[in-house]
A and B are shown apart, each in its own frame.
Chain A
Amino acid sequence: MTDIAIRAQALGKRYRIGVSRRGYLTLRDALSEGIAATLHTARALVRARPRAARTDNTIWALKDVTFEVARGEVVGIIGRNGSGKSTLLKVLSRITRPTTGSAEITGRVGSLLEVGTGFHPELTGRDNIYLNGAVLGMKRAEIARKFDEIVAFAEVDKFIDTPVKHYSSGMYLRLAFAVAAHLDTEILFVDEVLAVGDEAFQKKCLGKMGDVARAGRTVLFVSHNLQAVSALTRQALVLDGGQLIHAGETSAALERYRALWTVRGASEYTNPGSANGITRAKVIPSGPGQVHRAGEPLVFEFDLRLSHKLTSASFSFQVNDEEMRPIMHLWIEDAKQPWSKTGGARLRCHVPKSRLYMGRYSLTTYLSDRTTFELYEKLDGICAFEVVMDGTERGYEWKSGACTFLEDAEWSVY
């Protein structure tokens, strides 16, 4: 036996976005796509050019990730939403295959990517303990032996023979966590299963995780809870954009992680000497460090100076994504809200609920005259800021590039 429990070599995972991920094809789509692909190949052959790699609709959720974890080590994995943390655990747990690279894992593996996987609402707590245990890879005898301990840990003894659909969400989570916590494999992959239930139970969960960490087992665990990571691990991996950007001491990893939150590029644009145009432009996001949380109010501020009189002034700006594609366009016209006559003004644009999806953005501004169609000033790529999905709850990981904006919607089921 080696001293290395996990050895990952240049692991990469590519997803097709749009169709395959979280959406299935119909046969007709496959046929028409197949025909299109054939034509494409035929055309490429005629032109004697290699078939263009269809990278346009694929995304590398994980790229060239290489690391080693020694036996008995507890390693945290941190990174922003969509950085590839969950994909890494999925690849290592053999739920999905890597596209490139390889990994070697020595020892029996248990993975907890979710609490309560396989729980069935119609079944009783007792049944679900057995079912969930079996799904997680426990033997029947093992579950039977730990049964009382699990029930006691979850504090649901009175309801153990009640279908779990009648449980409160707290009880449900406690039971689910209790089963998971009693999985003892040599290697454990844990994805954000801490922090379930009320505060008292969260403490208990963390305590249990601490026991696991001290028991000499190899643990890889993904978390957004930086406190938990620093309390439980001495080593951590930092992922960003699918790449491993740091592997080592947890304290250094946390620093590296925090540094990710400051955006490249200036947040503010200033040009005090401008005669016909913007002297200052600024984005005011909801958080510090030019980071904006999706769904929160977003403010844009522009100071304009006009030495030249415009007949019908119009100011507009676009918000562009990282590839400089305009995502939204907002404008103000002098005809409706006069602002150009006085030689200058501060324009403040308040978006009560920003719908921008996670990603990096910048602005393009236009100052023009509506009647003469004269463009006085156009500025490109100013005021960089970033939108994050922090605090927006969803059952699975946010992936960058999954969409461009988020809409409010109400679902009905008939």
Chain B
Amino acid sequence: MSAQAHDASAGATITIRPASGWLALNLAELWEYRELLYFLIWRDLKVRYRQTAIGVAWVVIQPLATTAIFAVIFGRLAGLPSEGVPYPLFVFAALLPWQLFSGGISRAAVSLVSNANLLTKVYFPRLLVPLAAVLSGIVDLSVFFVILAGMMGWYRVTPSWAVLTLPLLVVIAVLAAMAIGIWLAAFNVRYRDVQQAIPFLIQIWFLASPVAYSGSLVPAGPWRVLYNLNPMTGVIQGFRWALFGKTPPDPLAWVSVAVIVVLFVAGLFYFRRLEDSFADVV
């Protein structure tokens, strides 16, 4: 019994009661289960590219191919402005946070349903499942950063001091993905409509974010205000600013960050309220 010695719950009494409205978050328990979070991420990564011929190369191929296609269509053929940065670099820098975000929400949305066997057989804080789904994107992101560094060397672009804000921007992107992801995951347990709507939602969101084009193309006025309230607008513009030192993101981006934080915290409570019923419904 030695391994449990450090376990805070040893000897403690758990009380089981019927659900009664909103519950406290129990973050201590979440912390206690951090190793399971690690294992869930680890499983996600190990399984994702099993039995594929080129395996992990897929991580790299997808964004590179997207970059190449966008560079040809939008950069060459449409001749869209790219804020004075070589177009491929301009797109790739945006794909980093975008993939983290879109991959995160689409994995998180289906995560509870695809782990139904766990939910119905074992107890653990259910929140770990969508969180792990989002966080597994961090590993892909670090691979992308290596490629990005290579591309920047090739194009001889040097980052400014603003590069130091990158970790914060990554945190915001992760938080945004979690904020949306936990809501969708909880909805999807009850309504599989979510699964159908996800690709569509991501496509719209993609077009509403400055990935393939520069945000400066959006006309000033109410549309621009709305545009800047999209949290991914701020994150992507922040990425480009941090890496290439051109235009900083609009101050309105902070409002979107605040919205994300509110959505995230509200999502945590909503999830907590529903999590005990997942096993009965999933």
Contacts and interface: CB of A to CB of B under 8 A. Distances in A.
Asked whether A and B interact, the reply is: yes
Interface of A: 1, 15, 20-21, 24-27, 30, 90-109, 111, 113-114, 117-118, 120, 122-123, 127, 130-131, 134-142, 145, 163, 184-186
Contacts of A26: 191-193
A104 B281 CA distance: 25
By Cβ-Cβ distance, the 8 closest A-B pairs, closest first, are A142-B3, A134-B39, A97-B276, A122-B50, A103-B16, A94-B123, A117-B121, A106-B13
A134 B120 CA distance: 16
Contacts of A91: 16
27 contacts: A24-B282, A91-B16, A94-B123, A95-B121, A95-B123, A96-B279, A97-B17, A97-B18, A99-B18, A101-B18, A102-B18, A103-B15, A104-B14, A105-B16, A106-B11, A108-B4, A109-B123, A111-B122, A113-B121, A118-B118, A120-B47, A123-B43, A131-B42, A134-B36, A137-B36, A140-B35, A163-B50
A24 B280 contact: no
B191 A92 contact: no
Given A108-B4, A117-B117, A118-B122, A96 B13 contact: no
A25 B282 CA distance: 10
Nearest to B115: A118
A113 B11 CA distance: 22
Nearest to B33: A137
A102 B10 contact: no
Contacts of B160: none
Contacts of A94: 14, 16, 123, 276
Contacts of B7: 108
Contacts of B14: 94, 104-106, 109
A412 B232 CA distance: 44
Contacts of A24: 189-192, 281-282
Interface in B1-58: 1, 3-4, 7, 9-19, 35-36, 38-39, 42-43, 46-47, 50-51
Given A111-B123, A114-B121, A123-B46, A25 B190 contact: yes
B4 A96 contact: no
Contact of B120 (A95, A102, A106): A95
